[in-house]
Structure 1
Amino acid sequence: MPEMSAFLEMEDLQEELLTSPSHTSSSSSYSSPPNLYPFSIDAELWLLAEERIQEILCTIQPAIVSEKKRKEVINYIQRLINGYYGIEVFPFGSVPLKTYLPDGDIDLTVLGHQNVEEDLARFVCKILENEDQDSVFEIKDVQYVPAQVKIVKCSVQNIPVDISFNQMAGLSALCFLEKVDQLIGKDHLFKRSVILIKAWCYYESRILGAHYGLISTYALEMMVLHIINLFHSSLCGPLAVLHRFLDYYNTFDWDNYCISINGPVAISSLPEIVAETVENDGDELLLSPEFLKKCREIYSVPITALETTGHEFAIKHLNIVDPLKDNNNLGRSVSKGNFHRIRCALSYGAQRLGEILTLPGHCLGMGLEKFFINTLERNGKGLRPDVQVPIHAFGCGKSEAADLSGDYDSYYNGLLYGQCYHDYTLPVTAQFSPPSPPSQIPSRSAWDVLCQYVQGKGNLVYQWGTEVFVPRLPFCHPYASQVRASTFSTDEGEKSRGTGTYIPERVCSF
């Protein structure tokens, strides 16, 4: 669990972030791609290009109507499952982070006892299958995926929903990424860049989707964060981040290095994570190693009885270090064949975007539209896959984009709730009343909840305002007599399938 001192130091680090110098851990130098900055393109012309990219972003980033609909679906699933089991369901991933594409799914995790995930997943399937089909929220295509990470998949009002169980790492990543976006600022430069690059990876190059042996969404977010952390002073907008992203990873030495937020790490140095210095226009790191260390202390998931310790970083074809867990390779989903496909896509993308940026002013905007031709064909005609009402089409000069600010306190409270739940699991014979769900607890900041937790650590009962919080008993449901008292052994190396969006079967070639 996070300690009070770590939380206080995190607050101090936030204030120091933009004023204190940061340095990498090694004096060695990684040979970065040729420096193309500052651009030869005229500054005013570049600003116009960023404005055109923002118009494209407005067709794919969260819209007000899509935000409303997705929240309604989340609330519906939460009520449905809580009604049967009295357990909590939390969103994580790109929907609460507000970096989802119109085709993106909703990721939810159910917090329950860790030795009954399979049974709980099957019962959730029954609840969804037996739900009243006359309901406004039409549920279709319910499917149980009996992988190591148990998942229930379904579609609610044509939005794909993935329900997992005890995915605390997803809640941790959500808190971390929301905090990082706040610290980077620049009108949500991180989130807007993630949306733009996800769109290119998904619609144009088809290289996004961990369950297809491609890049996971979280891995892609770390790749974007690596770029912003190293080159932040020369990045004026999402187009600049995309250009640097393609140019940098096009020539990255994946055979000898892996990606970490603080810079490339020589594979030969593993398991020690030593980031090497990059020629980065004289920039100092935006996110210091001290800041990231405090993030690991606050957001990292405690080791449970089901996890085995001592696992080393598993070298794959594309290697990306999880900032919250050094031995977790976020690129492990990428297969050998797809690794070559990804490199080809990055090379092609870097070449094409470079050519577009050399076009005269009257052709530049059209060139950028052609670079995102599939994106606009799919989403720019006034319809979104995740809403049932028309929206403004691309090029009309109007926007219905939603605010990208997330609810950090809510995300952090969810993470604390999950940590409390799993740290203080009571035996079956204990007799306590179940706690009130979060919706009935007075709204409190993450600071208040953390103070309450640290002050009461070691006790079995915690006081939250006028409500009493006690650890939950094993879930109760209509089929409780069928629950098997079994335990499961998991392999940490293949625990996550990533949070990439659904990839259409048609794949473009380069």
Structure 2
Amino acid sequence: MAHLKVCSPRPNGDVFREDRPCPSPPFPSLPTSNPDPSAVSPESWARGEDATRDIVSKIQPTLVTHQARKEVIQYVQSLITSNVGCQVFPYGSVPLKTYLPDGDIDLTAFSSANIEESFVTEVHAILKGEENNEAAQRLVKDVHCIDAEVKLVKCIVQNIVVDISFNQLGGLCTLRFLEQVDHYIGKDHLFKRSIILIKAWCYYESRILGAHHGLISTYALETLILYIFHIFHSSLDGPLTVLYRFLDYFSKFDWENYCISLNGPVCKSSLPDIVAEVPENGGDDLLLSEEFIRNCVEMFSVPSKLCETNLRSFPPKHLNIIDPLKENNNLGRSVNRGSFYRICSAFKYGARKLGWILSLPGERIADELNKFFANTLDRHGTNCQTNDKNDALSGGLEALNILLELGGDFDNHCLNLQYGPYFPGSATSPPLLPSPPLSPQPWKENPWGVTSEAVQFHQNINSQTNINGVAWGAHAYHANDSTLSVAAFRGEKKKPRGTGTYIPNAVVAFLVPIESIFGAAIL
């Protein structure tokens, strides 16, 4: 597979979207196979992870990028809720804090299911009117509808692409699930940092990410990454290790004959029955217990719509990835046949190339990793993002470039999931969700962490409330120790959180009047 390079950098003010790729000169010939990850020396891993930390710092969300997206979200929420009288919530990579610098914003608006068609038309008209409004507070353009399996109103606000879907409770459930997993894994948000790195490689270097282009969807990629943690968690200490395990494993996976599920490979010949085979490690050292997975499915599975009372079986396609929360949902359904071969080739090439880099003398590893992420660094390498203590204390513009703390906003995720689909008049009561589970292992001192001053700065600029009176992006980060019960997930006694981020108890953090949740205008 030829290495792809972006032909020209994005000019200032251009829209966050893909550029046209063009082939760059081929790399020197590579070995026909890559070394086993366990054969890489500790020194090579140390050098590689050190270089990877610098790469991730160029693309990890910062306070300024998060604040910009927060303002766009609040603006769109205000437009829709003030004109239609509904609830609009963010989901996906922005609230999860795993978006790339070019990432878009995913929102979902809730209304009565029997008026969804007219609801889509109303939202489109509202945004179209704002596009034509010369006095609009924000620059809105390119408003249009996409009549696909999931209906979307798509637009660009302040040069950030915004996708608005309707009644997509699944997006909120997935967000909550991935936050649970990140805290279960711990290690200073290793799961999220790995998502950011692997997304960058898939998007900028290999051009295999993007369901709307017949490629891998973001949730499908996150599920594949989760599988790597599930099987190999004891050997994963940094994002580069996760990336190499990811490429090594899925470059050798028999996609022609098997589906992948969190419980192990599933032979396609067994379908429609989902019969998982024993994972490669024998199933003796899995990260997530059966109880954890079962409880997540019970809490975060989306109830079937009335038109789906006759549940369909898993629909096999080319790249078959079973949704951990809904086993008849194929997360790889967006991948067409041509893209399937491209993805498999990318995995094989990436594994061989990265394996070759990790086999080099230590002093060469950093330079070669920078070449491995050449497109990423060409596009974003000049954005100096630092969490330097002096910058955080200065209060100037430089302080806005400190890296965003990756801890999840559990209070708002929980609130959105509880109240999002339960508009006034609904016969269904909101579910009760537990506090987040803890990491099963103490967090280590890690150079990826931000300074306490940076966290305090983050807290100060993100503690505002949105138009509807509900805080979005507000966090309570403290250095103190804390314990929370996770019996519902792990069946174990409480364990100290170590030095990790304190997560406030969701039970007391959002005791707000119902008017603040739904808005007085629609009660």
Give your verdict on TM over 0.5.
Answer: yes
Q: Counterpart in 2 of 1:400?
A: 402
* SS state at 2:164 partner: strand
Distance 1:307 1:298 in 2: 19
Is this contact kept in 1: 2:111–2:421, CA < 8 A?
no
Q: Counterpart in 2 of 1:439?
A: 470
Distance 1:241 1:440 in 2: 34
**Deviation of residue 264 (structure 1)?**
1.3
Matches within 5 A, 1:203-352: 203-280=204-281, 284-352=285-353
Q: Counterpart in 1 of 2:106?
A: 107
Distance 1:81 1:407 in 2: 23
Distance 2:517 2:163 in 1: 28
How much is the aligned-residue C-alpha RMSD, in angstroms?
A: 3.1
Q: Counterpart in 1 of 2:412?
A: 410
- Length, aligned pairs only: 409
**Deviation of residue 266 (structure 1)?**
1.8
* SS state at 1:326 partner: strand
Is this contact kept in 2: 1:142–1:152, CA < 8 A?
yes
Distance 1:468 1:190 in 2: 36
Q: Counterpart in 2 of 1:39?
A: 39
**Deviation of residue 78 (structure 1)?**
0.7
Deviations 1:433-457 (A, max 9, x none): xxx956299x99654699xxxxxxx
Structure 1 pair 421–446 and aligned structure 2 pair: CA distance change class (3 A): farther
**Deviation of residue 303 (structure 1)?**
1.9
Deviations 1:458-484 (A, max 9, x none): xxxxxx7654699999989xxxxxxxx
Q: Counterpart in 2 of 1:361?
A: 362
Distance 2:58 2:517 in 1: 45
Is this contact kept in 1: 2:190–2:239, CA < 8 A?
yes
Q: Counterpart in 1 of 2:96?
A: 97
Is this contact kept in 2: 1:254–1:319, CA < 8 A?
yes
**What's the TM-score, normalizing by structure 1?**
0.74
Distance 1:262 1:423 in 2: 39
Distance 1:114 1:217 in 2: 26
* SS state at 2:38 partner: coil
Instruction: Name structure 2 gaps, 5 residues minimum.
Output: 1-32, 386-397, 429-466, 476-503
**What's the TM-score, normalizing by structure 2?**
0.72
Distance 1:118 1:475 in 2: 20
Structure 1 pair 349–185 and aligned structure 2 pair: CA distance change class (3 A): same
* Paired AA for residue 470 in structure 2: S
* Paired AA for residue 80 in structure 1: L
Distance 2:521 2:115 in 1: 9
- Match status 1:54 vs 2:53: yes
Matches within 5 A, 1:122-161: 122-131=121-130, 132-161=133-162
Q: Counterpart in 1 of 2:62?
A: 63
* Paired AA for residue 439 in structure 1: V
Structure 1 pair 127–99 and aligned structure 2 pair: CA distance change class (3 A): same
Distance 1:339 1:357 in 2: 27
**Deviation of residue 45 (structure 1)?**
3.4
**Deviation of residue 136 (structure 1)?**
3.9
**Deviation of residue 267 (structure 1)?**
1.8
Deviations 1:197-228 (A, max 9, x none): 11011000000011111100000000000001
* SS state at 1:382 partner: coil
Is this contact kept in 1: 2:34–2:356, CA < 8 A?
no
Distance 2:35 2:290 in 1: 25
Distance 1:474 1:123 in 2: 17
**Deviation of residue 146 (structure 1)?**
2.0
**Deviation of residue 418 (structure 1)?**
2.7
Is this contact kept in 1: 2:272–2:314, CA < 8 A?
yes
Is this contact kept in 2: 1:96–1:406, CA < 8 A?
yes
Distance 1:474 1:166 in 2: 20
Is this contact kept in 2: 1:265–1:275, CA < 8 A?
yes
Distance 2:306 2:508 in 1: 29
Matches within 5 A, 1:359-398: 359-382=360-383
* Paired AA for residue 409 in structure 1: D
Is this contact kept in 2: 1:138–1:157, CA < 8 A?
yes
Is this contact kept in 2: 1:263–1:276, CA < 8 A?
yes
Q: Counterpart in 2 of 1:189?
A: 190
- Match status 1:117 vs 2:116: yes
Q: Counterpart in 2 of 1:495?
A: none
Moved more, 316-325 or 279-288: 279-288
**Deviation of residue 173 (structure 1)?**
0.2
* Paired AA for residue 412 in structure 2: S
- Percent identity among equivalent residues? 52
